[in-house]
Amino acid sequence: MSLPRRQFAQTLLAAAATTGLNATADAAATAAPPALLRARRLHPGDTLGLVSPANASFEREPVAIAIESLQALGFKVKTGVHLRARYGHFAGSDEQRAADINAMFADDEVAGILALTGGSGCNRIVDRLDYGLIARKPKFFGGFSDLTCLVNAIQRQTGLITFHAPFAGSEWNEFSVRQFKAMVMDGEAALLRNPQGERGGQLVQTEDRISTLRGGRARGRLVGGNLAVLSSIAGSAYFPDCRGAILFLEEINEYIYRVDRMLSTLRLCGALGQLAGVVLGKFSKCEPGDGNYGTLTLDEVFDDYLLPLQVPVYRGAMIGHISRKFTVPVGAEVEIDADAGSIQLLAPAVRD
């Protein structure tokens, strides 16, 4: 039976649109990555732009504490025009949140940009950033959790090394401060390795242990972040280039079957098969769902997806939703040692 003329035309348009979308995704996946850009390292007295690309802050005190924390690190602070705005649970409309980031990159007074907090909403604004502006005026840009979307998108679109870093509103303990300063203020070609021998009164070390899934060393560009957020942008122009890359992952508050599903997404889009190595951070409170009898364990899920890759893999790096955390440079060239549980930068992630 022949289709009515209007239905036939609509079918052709839908097919053309799908073909166009597939062509765009394929082009993004095969395009050569832009040349690597490094932001100028941060100095005491520099001005940091404080933005909130995701959740709103519903009380004044957390914002005050975040500002005071950055000042205690030695920075001046310039807040985004819409930092305290609210639209639903977001810190303002999509247009407002994206505008604050673009404005901070455009502002020559601002040396770097740090997110106040995470939550959700970055996927809604990732296509509203001015990547041409960012490439012309590269600056430190940091955050984690939902900011995984933006730090990887900026790196992929511009070549700028970005940072999976504490939020301004994070706990700035001695460990996290030391890691942040070494990476983005002192400009060290740092070694990221969990503290060794911290027993806390136990017979053996029980916290921040490293476990090696498959030993060996590998070199590549470091990409990744929160697994849920990363898998949500798979197939888009903002997903990292995984060819020969070192992928790091972390997660919190997800049932194990969801972790399995997210890793399946990365496998099915071809990302896992392109990797040179994998670093697993903390998977905090990732447990079986209520009433799920006989679920796979995290060990089994990681083994199923990562051991067939035949690349070095280790687990337990101090990356994730934890109090003591590394500042991790997204896009930097590194070497991992899965037996030692370490990430060695091959060059500083920032320039003088």
Q: Over the stretch 227-278, which tens digit does the pLDDT of each residue have? A: 999 999 999 999 999 999 999 999 999 999 999 999 999 999 999 999 999 9
Say which of 57, 69, 82, 250 is annotated catalytic.
250
In DSSP terms, which residues pair with 211 in a beta bridge? 315
User: What pLDDT score does 25 carry?
Assistant: 47
Q: Hey, what are 219's tokens? A: 């070199």
Helix/strand/coil for 258: helix
Say which of 52, 57, 145, 342 is annotated catalytic.
145
Residue type, 116: L
Looking at every residue in the chain, the average pLDDT score rounds to 92
In DSSP terms, which residues pair with 49 in a beta bridge? 78, 113
* 191-345: CATH superfamily: LD-carboxypeptidase A C-terminal domain-like (3.50.30.60)
Q: Over the stretch 42-100, which tens digit does the pLDDT of each residue have? A: 999 999 999 999 999 999 999 999 999 999 999 999 999 999 999 999 999 999 999 99
Residues 117 and 9: their CA atoms lie apart, in Å, by: 47
CA separation, residue 157 to residues 98, 131, 169, 331 (Å): 16, 7, 27, 11
State the angle between helix axes of 298-306 and 256-268 in degrees (0 to 180), rounded to the nearest 10. 10
Q: What residue segments make up the domains of the chain, in order of their start? A: 47-171, 191-345
Does residue 177 contact residue 171 with C-beta atoms inside 8 Å?
no
Reported CATH class of domain 47-171: alpha beta
- List Cβ neighbours of 177 (8 Å cut-off, separation of 6 or more): 73
Q: Is 145 a catalytic residue?
A: yes
pTM, rounded to two decimals: 0.91
Look at residue 6 and tell me whether its pLDDT is greater than 60.
no
Residues 150 and 144: their CA atoms lie apart, in Å, by: 9
pLDDT band per the 50, 70, 90 thresholds, residue 29? low
pLDDT band per the 50, 70, 90 thresholds, residue 16? very low
E-assigned strand segments in 140-276? 140-143, 162-164, 191-193, 211-214, 217-226, 246-252
Mean of pLDDT values over 141-153: 98
Same fold, 47-171 and 191-345: no
Question: Residue 185 class from Cβ within 10 Å (0-12 exposed, 13-18 middle, 19+ buried)?
Answer: buried
Residues 348 and 190: their CA atoms lie apart, in Å, by: 7
pLDDT band per the 50, 70, 90 thresholds, residue 290? confident
Q: What is the DSSP string of 263-330?
A: HHHHHHTTSGGG-SEEEEEEEET--PPTT-TTPPPHHHHHHHHHGGG-S-EEE--S-SSSSS---EEE
Question: Residue 192 class from Cβ within 10 Å (0-12 exposed, 13-18 middle, 19+ buried)?
Answer: buried
Look at residue 3 and tell me whether its pLDDT is greater than 80.
no
Q: Is 250 a catalytic residue?
A: yes
Say which of 231, 321, 335, 342 is annotated catalytic.
321
Q: What is the DSSP string of 73-128?
A: TT-EEEE-TTTT--BTTBSS-HHHHHHHHHHHHH-TT--EEEES--SS-GGGTGGG
Residues 115 and 62: their CA atoms lie apart, in Å, by: 13
Q: Over the stretch 185-217, which tens digit does the pLDDT of each residue have? A: 999 999 999 999 888 888 898 899 999 999 999
**Residue matched to tokens 């899965």:** 338
Task: Kindly compute the dihedral angle of the four CA atoms of residues 310, 312, 316, 320, in this order, to the nearest 10 degrees.
Answer: -90
Higher pLDDT, 339 or 1: 339
User: What pLDDT score does 251 carry?
Assistant: 98
pLDDT band per the 50, 70, 90 thresholds, residue 289? confident
E-assigned strand segments in 129-214? 140-143, 162-164, 191-193, 211-214
Does residue 259 contact residue 231 with C-beta atoms inside 8 Å?
no
User: What pLDDT score does 225 carry?
Assistant: 98
Say what percent of the chain tops pLDDT 70. 91
